[in-house]
Chain A
Amino acid sequence: MPLAILLAVMLPVGVPWWLVVIGCFIMIFIGKKLFGGMGAYPVHPVMLTYAMLVISWPQHFDNTKALLSYNWDVPMIDVLQISKTYGLNGEALFSWQDLLMGNQVAALGNGMVLFIIIGGLMLILMNAISWHIPTAFILGVVGMSTILQLIDPELSASPLFHLLSASTLLGAFFLATETTTSPVNPIPMLIYGFFGGALLVLLRSFSDHIDGIAFTILIINFMAPLLDRITPRICGMELGHHA
């Protein structure tokens, strides 16, 4: 997958140029080449870069501040920031149509939910990724946010809001499915995706970071090789002659 485009899509509007240069350096040399290049990196290079940049320069990763001088018809505050602070009350400020059409304060491209869905479906139809990871990821998000809402309806956002806000679907379709760092067998893919979705909602709700997508993907990437030990049964082995 094109790493540079994914990084660009994740960066906020008006980010300084030197941050992009440093990000690309980290992505190519540390994230990719040091581990052996194509097909050998253990975690998604874009997520590694994003995580390092967010931790190092948090002041440049404030979407609300970056879009201060713009005025659209929607509240000009990062959607996740609102939901984190006000829960269900904050969610009421947005309609799901606005979120779907990309009328939300987010980074350069990760808020364009409708187009991300179109792109993701195209990837599945073109057989470039399998349906397992995105489906399980979305199920994980919906499941975990439903549980949280049942526990504390005042401070938790609805499943639909979690699904349509910020990087959720970008993660489901483009980041979690990165081939080198994700499992290859069907059952591991389902576990991997579901765990990723659930972890994303937990990080959003309980961590200090506004959006936990980078850390979610990093953590599930480390799970992938272990999960891949669950392999399907080999045909022709059922009679036990070669076991």
Chain B
Amino acid sequence: MRSNPLNKLLNKPPSVCVSHDEILDMPEPDYVVLPMDYTQRELYSWKVAIGDKVRQNQIIAKNSMGVCLHTPISGTVFDIKPIWSEGGIHIPAVCITRGEGDAVSVDEIFEQYGVNPKEATVDDQLKAMGIHPPWLPLSTSAVSEEHTPEAIENVVIVGFDEEPEINIQYNLLAQRLNDVLEGFSFLKTIMPNATQVLLADRNFCKQIKDQVPGEIQLKSISPNYSARLLDRNIPKYANIRFDHHRDYALQKTVVISIERLLVLTAAIKNSQPFTTKYLTVSNKMPSDHKMVLIHHGTSIRSILNFTEFSKYQPESIIAGGPMKGISQFNNLTPLTRSCDGLHLLGEKEITSGPGDHCTNCAACIRICPLNLQVHLIGRYVEFENFTSANEYHPEQCMECGLCSYVCPAQRPLVQFIKLANQYGNQKNEHKPQTQCSIESPLEEWDQHCSSSAAMADSPAASH
């Protein structure tokens, strides 16, 4: 069979379906590095300077929407320098080394945020705890008074992980079902007009069917990867006509994961800032995985050392899962809230080189969830004909990575499509929404430092 290992990976249920992983709690790291681009759309501007003493949960940065960023550990601001974030963006980051100090109290957080805790609205509470309210659009300019929790019509809670090899949501659902159901009833009080949908793995649905109350629509998802692609499948489950390129909030829909639901509930009920993240660390050969709870800004190297995955001596580290993830150029990159997992590849699993010639075999077209003419875009880009490539709408691509995965010639098709978008959009009127709005923080940065040395070179990272 042509793509035997692929079929195995794509069709097999998440590896955790057989057992519930123990969640390892990682101790505070020696230092954290907090990039100022958490959502990769909005930049944060920092409120601290080099040498400042900071205490755990203190607000150190804020974005234009007012969403705060807290330091997960107490200590000293060691440096502020640009680094390569896990999303492949060169961005200023605050490095904090661990020191003495108690956690900041809730009242102090609200004081720093600038709102009296007794008068705070739900929006204020979430923003002060470092969470973007899911009913607000992602870009500041699109926010209007219409965007209130009452206006939301659909709430979709995603109880599975999109990527193979990652199993955070599954484990949380299995181990903290009561908290999840509590979160559902809490969401009902915030968003009374919304229908609630819980998406869960097919096997898992049978187990929890009796425990889930009737008003929550429980939908089962087949365990293969293309059925789990969120962009494509959310409209089907939520029964709405949908444009996956537009903001969900503009379409009166909230889509959050189980983990985010728990964080959101904890932030409002217990006033707990969002500073930790669940992570699945997996290795391809030999197959192995562990689940760990980290503090934001922990470097990949300390995570690998803690989970003992450094024994595999990975050749390539992919942040975000095997399909959509991005390969990291060194193991000092800090991981933050947008990263769900680390996938390690050995020397044998990495394919290198530009790949073979396209033989028109149509494997990419059969698997593409969006029906793009992937092979043609790839061929046009290969010969640098970007105008023709853009006639086939490469901007619709959601970079799920299936085409590259199935390609028998091992062509870098996703990269071809990215190139088509990059060079083709100069003529197109439509600009992709993912463009980073670079504002004042970078100008400020230029005065501080002219070198673009990565955090990897700094003494803080090497101890």
B424 part of interface (Cβ distance < 8 Å) = no
The interface residues of chain A lying within 8 Å CB-to-CB of B361 are 179
Contact A241 B245, beta carbon cutoff 8 Å: yes
Contact present for A242 and B245 (CB under 8 Å): yes
User: Can you list 7 A-B pairs with a CB-CB distance of less than 8 A?
Assistant: A39-B357, A40-B357, A126-B1, A184-B373, A235-B369, A241-B246, A242-B245
- CB–CB B371/A242 < 8 A: no
Q: Which residue of B lies closest to A182 (CB)?
A: B360
Find A127's partner among B2, B246, B392 (CB 8 Å cutoff): B2
Contact A237 B393 (CB under 8 A): yes
**A236 CB contacts on chain B under 8 angstroms:** 231-232, 242-245, 370, 396
Q: Interface size (A, Cβ < 8 Å)?
A: 25
B241 / chain A contacts, CB cutoff of 8 Å: 238-239
A235 contact set on B, CB distance < 8 A: 232, 244, 369-371, 396
Q: Is A130 an interface residue (CB 8 A)?
A: yes
Stretch at the interface among A20-28, A112-120, A226-234: A226-234
Which 10 interchain pairs have the tightest Cβ spacing? A184-B362, A39-B357, A232-B371, A179-B361, A39-B359, A235-B370, A239-B243, A38-B357, A180-B360, A236-B244
Asked whether any CB of chain A lies closer than 8 Å to the CB of B375, the reply is: yes
A188-243, CB < 8 A from B: 231-239, 241-242
Tell me if B's interface is mostly helix, strand, loop or mixed: loop
Chain B contact-residue range equals 20 to 34
The docked-state distance in angstroms from the alpha carbon of A231 to that of B371 is: 8
Q: Is there an interface contact between B2 and A126, defined as CB atoms closer than 8 Å?
A: yes
CA distance A141 to B332 in the complex (A): 64
* Known contacts A38-B356, A38-B359, A236-B244; A128/B393 CB under 8 A: no
- Residues in B with CB closer than 8 Å to A126 are 1-2
From known contacts A38-B356, A184-B375, infer whether A127 and B430 are also in contact, taking CB-CB under 8 Å.
no
Q: How far is the CB of A186 from chain B (nearest CB, A)?
A: 9
Q: Does A37 contact B (CB under 8 A)?
A: yes
Instruction: Please give the residue numbers on chain A whose beta carbons come within 8 Å of chain B beta carbons, in ascending order.
Output: 37-40, 126-128, 130, 179-182, 184-185, 231-239, 241-242
Chain A residues in 8 Å Cβ range of B2: 126-128
Using CB atoms, name the residue of chain A closest to B364.
A184
Give the distance to chain B from A181, nearest Cβ to Cβ, in Å: 8
- B244: nearest chain-A partner, CB-CB: A236
Shortest CB–CB separation between residue A133 and chain B, in angstroms? 11
Known: A231-B392, A232-B371, A235-B369. 8 other contacts (CB 8 A): A37-B357, A179-B359, A181-B360, A235-B244, A235-B396, A237-B393, A238-B243, A239-B241
Give the contacting residue for A237; candidates B358, B365, B375, B396; CB below 8 A: B396
Interface pair A130/B245, CB less than 8 Å apart: no
Q: Is B340 an interface residue (CB 8 A)?
A: no
Rounded to whole angstroms, the CA-CA distance of A242 and B395 in the bound complex is: 9
